[in-house]
Structure 1
Amino acid sequence: MSDEIQNPEAERDEAAYSLGRKDVAAILYAVDIDDRETLTRLMEPLHAADIADLLEQINSYDRARLIRLYDREFDGEILTELDESIREEVIAVLNPQILADAVRELESDDVVDLVEDLDEPQQEAILGALDDADRVAVQQALSYPEYSAGRLMQREVVMAPEHWTVGEAIDYIRSSEHLPEQFYHIVLVDPRMHPVGNVTLGRLMGSARKVKLRDIMEDVFQIIPVDQDEGDVAYAFNQYHLISAPVIDENGRLVGVITIDDAMAVLDEEHEEDILRLAGVGESSLSDSIFETTRQRLPWLVVNLGTAILASIVIAQFEGTLQSLVALAILMPIVASMGGNAGTQSLTVAVRAIATRDLTGSNIWRVIRREAAVGLINGLVFAVMMGVVSLIWFGSPALGMVIALAMIINLLVAGLAGIAIPVVMERVGIDPALASGTFVTTVTDVVGFVAFLGMASMVLL
């Protein structure tokens, strides 16, 4: 009996907000028999993000066949949803005219996001498909530093003079032929094109026509400099609950707007990047080739090998102690493992707090004291537990005391290392998510081995 029949609930859960296995199989079958009509019928109800997921999940051969069969219906939004690792491949397969039509449908910020990571020939192909005004806007955005607000913003802005009334603004919006596909505010500007406030569409539509726009401005108003780092932009949106924010150039003039979807995408990317870096895999993707995946992981495995050798060198200094008492070799991994896990717990909290800017100079010492206290309390708890286990297991009160003391020392150090190492790395300009795990594990291993084997040498031999 198939998995689907055995567990229909699992199939429904899997397909709740994504393509189920049956859907993927039906689409690939339509591709296999070269049935454009069936393929179009199956793909038509799908959101662009779901189609992008489908393209990412199948292999290169099926991906190319599907794109060629579906190309007439290809939507530009699909390209913006695709993982960067396969975006170039998809663009290379698309018919140039289909690609041009797809790109013309996109907002300027989506086009910038699309072309900034492509090779120059593909960049030129996409830019060449744009109207003159759109092409100039995208090229200007690309002139701003990478990962800046200028790259993130869209040039299409709904603005109005601050002295206008609600009625004048509504009439203007209704008569405009080039509104953004989605917008949340009208940006009010002074005669020098400096933004002075926002009016939400809700307040606009709920106010009388004669009301002045300046009288219904939002209380919270944040202006984003065009060269501000996109991480700072995302933080501002999250911190102040923004929906959109105007972007200004060096002269304070309005040049664009950033919306919440783009800001949250940055936050999502940064969180994903931190998770991957904590595991030492960089910007890895399921679509990466074997060679690319190996290249990304190998350097940090080399670093881990070096730190493991360092821990082994420490153990080698107590070779005579280990030969004299085999029980030490049995218990030694417990001390190192507990320290490593405790250090990882503190490290994860610290990296997240640094990323969300909750860990600052004003509270760093309070947090360090807290982690030290937690490490000490946990150390005492597990010291009692392991002391009793060692006594029962090996019948040696002295051995129980040694492992108990080593556990206290190592969990205390683990708590301190887990918070201190990422803070130090952040202060010296190194991404704490990238290398902290390796160093925290090394510290807990070395301290654990030295404490346990050192005290065993003094007490037991």
Structure 2
Amino acid sequence: MTASRDSVTLSADVVPIDRRDLRRMIDEASATELHALVDEAHADEIVHAVTSLPEDEREKLFDVLDAERGAAVLELLPDSQAVDSLESLDPDAAAELIHELDSEDQADLIALLDDPELILSRLPAEEAEEIRDLASYPADTAGGMMGTEFLAFPLGSTVGDVVKELQDHADEHSDADVQYVYVTDEDGRLRGVLPLRNLVVSKRARKISDVMIADPLAMPSDATLDRMIAFFDDHHFLGVPVVTTAEDPVPGRLLGVLQAAEVDEAEAELRGGEFRRSQGIVGGEELRSMPLLLRSRRRFSWLTLNIGLNVVAASVIARNLDVIEAIAPLAVIMPIISDMSGCSGNQAVAVSMRELSLNVARPSDWFRVWRKEAAVGSVNGIGLGLLLGLAGGLWQGPWFGFVVGAALAANTLVAVSIGGVVPLLLKGLKLDPAVGAGPILTTVTDMCGFFLVLTMAANLLQQA
């Protein structure tokens, strides 16, 4: 989500938040201190501190904060944590937070809730209906990404009418896109755009139809994300009006405004989602603050599929053992150990890259990240080791199964540790983690995998 215009202004001075101090404030329910912290802290610091809190402490934080500051914090969080926080709160308190958000953020979060009506029923009827309308659009269309905070005036208005309205109701219009004023006809169709500069330099008695930009570019509500990306690539606008489609009873009716920043965020999320899926992170967004078993389950399903694919690939070598008589059956399993460990490491890389992009993690968090990854790596390593060990034992006997299973379990732990930490270290060195993490991970996991399996096999042979 993006910061709303009515949220608490966050200082540009980056001052680290002491998490122990934050937890003390929450434990003592010190509203005064927490309000001051939200008012003064940088947005990145708030994200970093709040996302690291246990779920029960995040819930208590929102209980203590007033609605305005609670919404300011909520809109900074990843959607998964924002939704969890809303669902953990009393519905009345959750409704107060929703009320403070921008319309596009309201619709985004309501669409993700398990029971949105529980919160919508506690909002004013008109506001709730507007949110339902916005949430009904597909999330990746212009209608699903637009905001409804904008200023529109009828064609017959004068410059003086617009200026007086802005001055008399400045507080009410604080949520609107104040860079442009939109001009509509009696049916609400978009007829023109009035830049503030044209408004300021024009005489009060002039009709806005005389100073507006007529027939402006607009985006239909059903426009796809690809179309929106292409539009903002071609036109360096901060925003574009969204109108009803040609099939609507009133085509061209002004519905809202699509911000370029929203499209950029959606494109980044799309690319990030594609990358996570390519690395086997299934089930959507993952953060290390999520429950251990949930994170393990999301990764494990993809890893078990890959172990089967790698066994199939290795069977090609197994069928040619008579040709390569000098190579023991152990050589058949070694590529599996190397590749599976690399898959686990790539999953850790994907989560580290995501957390870096959200400012949830930073280079100084390497030890915390390692501990979290070591926990997941231990669970998945044991599971994968048992699967491969069982297959190896059925094929070549129990000692062979023990060697390959233990080697895979140990190398999985090594791989996720490297995959989780290396992107942070590269970021700290001002190197591109997306470029460097993969080669480092592949090289180290190959070396460790081969070393572990060969060393363990050699030791067991000596004892035989």
TM-score under structure 2 normalisation?
Answer: 0.58
Deviation at 1:118, TM superposition (A): 0.6
> Does structure 1 residue 299 correspond to structure 2 residue 280?
no
Percent of residue pairs bearing the same amino acid type: 25
Give the aligned partner of residue 273 of structure 1: 273
Query: 3-state SS of the aligned residue for 1:81?
Result: coil
- 2: CA distance between counterparts of 1:219 and 1:238? 22
- 2: CA distance between counterparts of 1:323 and 1:203? 85
Letter of the structure 2 residue corresponding to residue 257 of structure 1: V
- Runs of 5+ unmatched residues, structure 1: 1-14, 345-436, 442-461
Q: Is the 8 A contact 1:103 1:129 kept in 2?
A: no
- 2: CA distance between counterparts of 1:47 and 1:94? 25
- 1: CA distance between counterparts of 2:12 and 2:272? 23
Q: Is the 8 A contact 1:147 1:230 kept in 2?
A: yes
The residue correspondences of 1:190-205 to structure 2 (distance < 5 A) are: 190-205=185-200
1:233 to 228, 234, 240: 228
Deviation at 1:18, TM superposition (A): 6.1
Q: CA offsets per residue over residues 269-322 of structure 1, 9 Å max, x none?
A: 212212212322132321322232223223322332233123212223432343
Deviation at 1:186, TM superposition (A): 1.6
Query: 3-state SS of the aligned residue for 2:242?
Result: strand
Distance change in 2, residues 1:36/1:145 (3 Å): closer
2:290 to 257, 265, 288: 288
The residue correspondences of 1:312-323 to structure 2 (distance < 5 A) are: 312-323=314-325
Query: 3-state SS of the aligned residue for 1:319?
Result: coil
Distance change in 2, residues 1:55/1:191 (3 Å): same
Deviation at 1:264, TM superposition (A): 2.4
- 1: CA distance between counterparts of 2:71 and 2:321? 65
- 1: CA distance between counterparts of 2:214 and 2:317? 63
Letter of the structure 1 residue corresponding to residue 265 of structure 2: A
Give the aligned partner of residue 127 of structure 1: 120
- 2: CA distance between counterparts of 1:16 and 1:157? 27
Q: Is the 8 A contact 1:67 1:93 kept in 2?
A: no
Deviation at 1:200, TM superposition (A): 2.5
Deviation at 1:144, TM superposition (A): 2.6
Distance change in 2, residues 1:319/1:166 (3 Å): farther
Q: CA offsets per residue over residues 369-406 of structure 1, 9 Å max, x none?
A: xxxxxxxxxxxxxxxxxxxxxxxxxxxxxxxxxxxxxx
**Range with greater deviation from structure 2 (155-164 or 273-282):** 155-164
Q: Is the 8 A contact 1:161 1:190 kept in 2?
A: yes
Give the aligned partner of residue 450 of structure 2: none
- 2: CA distance between counterparts of 1:233 and 1:63? 35
Give the aligned partner of residue 179 of structure 1: 173
- 2: CA distance between counterparts of 1:35 and 1:146? 38
Larger radius of gyration: 1
2:145 to 152, 158, 171: 152
Tell me the matched-pair count. Answer: 319
The residue correspondences of 1:105-144 to structure 2 (distance < 5 A) are: 105-120=100-115, 123-144=116-137
TM-score under structure 1 normalisation?
Answer: 0.59
> Does structure 1 residue 260 correspond to structure 2 residue 260?
yes
- 2: CA distance between counterparts of 1:301 and 1:73? 43
Distance change in 2, residues 1:292/1:30 (3 Å): same
Deviation at 1:141, TM superposition (A): 1.8
Deviation at 1:202, TM superposition (A): 3.7
Distance change in 2, residues 1:219/1:272 (3 Å): farther
Alpha-carbon RMSD across the aligned residues, in angstroms, is 3.8
Deviation at 1:76, TM superposition (A): 2.0
Q: CA offsets per residue over residues 404-440 of structure 1, 9 Å max, x none?
A: xxxxxxxxxxxxxxxxxxxxxxxxxxxxxxxxx9xxx
Query: 3-state SS of the aligned residue for 1:322?
Result: coil
Greater helix share, 1 or 2? 1
2:239 to 234, 238, 244: 244
Distance change in 2, residues 1:298/1:19 (3 Å): farther
